[in-house]
């Protein structure tokens, strides 16, 4: 049968129905399960140990593909029907344009906004090269001390791998730059580290039943 993309809840049912399940790991640099396996079945609980186990991302040496040619067209596809994405008004949010004008926050959602913010951030190559966490004012709002790209990464509006490769391209054009853990690349690696820790630790988001909570 055909190949489809499913979430983890649907995988067992799909497999039993004879559907080939394609479940890529692309939200993070590394597959958390593989890192944990390398560490004897437990997630690494320090940043240096994570970096030692992870090494270089396998995809980092080749350009990322940004095409979506594998997606089926809108319409009837066999026994499945692929529908168009509903508009904001169809979701019940009324006059969206007026909502944007009335909103006070300078931060907007969506992929276009994420890419614009990324472009603006990396256009200042000196700033990227010298970025050093935790230096900077964390309370700065209108002109933040960071990229403010975390929520865009979290909700899939921006690819962490694309962000990584953009940073590497900037590093190639400067004489020197900061390094992990304080650099921007280091911050992306911190993200992977915590995803791996959370993936391999039951009840990571609470105290009760969390074996690493002190």
Question: Which tens digit of pLDDT belongs to each residue from 76-117?
Answer: 455 555 567 777 778 877 666 666 655 666 778 889 999 999
- Per residue in 15-71, pLDDT (tens digit) is 788 877 777 788 899 999 999 999 999 999 999 999 999 999 888 877 766 555 554
127-137 residue pLDDT tens: 999 999 888 77
- pTM, rounded to two decimals: 0.75
Q: In degrees, to the nearest 5, what angle opens at C-alpha 171 toward C-alphas 166 and 172?
A: 100
**Of the listed ranges 60-69, 85-94, 173-182, 200-209, the one predicted with least confidence:** 60-69
Q: What's the gap between Cα 116 and its chain centre?
A: 16
Q: What's the pLDDT at 2?
A: 40
Per-residue pLDDT at 4 exceeds 50: no
């Amino acid at each position: 049968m055909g190949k489809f993309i499913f979430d983890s809840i649907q995988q067992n049912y799909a497999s039993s129905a004879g559907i080939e399940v394609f479940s890529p790991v692309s939200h993070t640099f590394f597959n958390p399960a593989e890192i944990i396996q390398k560490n004897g079945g437990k997630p690494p609980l320090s940043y240096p140990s994570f970096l030692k186990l992870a090494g270089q991302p396998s995809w980092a040496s080749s350009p990322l593909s940004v095409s979506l040619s594998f997606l089926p067209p809108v319409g009837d596809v066999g026994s499945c029907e692929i529908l168009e994405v509903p508009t904001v008004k169809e979701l019940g949010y009324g006059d969206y344009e007026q909502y944007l004008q009335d909103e006070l926050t300078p931060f907007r959602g969506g992929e276009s906004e994420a890419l614009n913010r990324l472009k603006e951030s990396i256009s200042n190559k000196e700033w990227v090269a010298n970025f050093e966490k935790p230096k900077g004012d964390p309370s700065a709002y209108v002109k933040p001390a960071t990229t403010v790209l975390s929520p865009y990464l979290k909700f899939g509006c921006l690819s962490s791998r694309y962000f990584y490769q953009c940073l590497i391209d900037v590093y190639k054009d400067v004489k020197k730059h900061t390094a992990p853990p304080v650099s921007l690349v280091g911050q992306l690696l911190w993200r992977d580290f915590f995803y791996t820790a959370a993936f391999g630790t039951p009840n990571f988001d609470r105290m009760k039943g969390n074996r690493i909570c002190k």
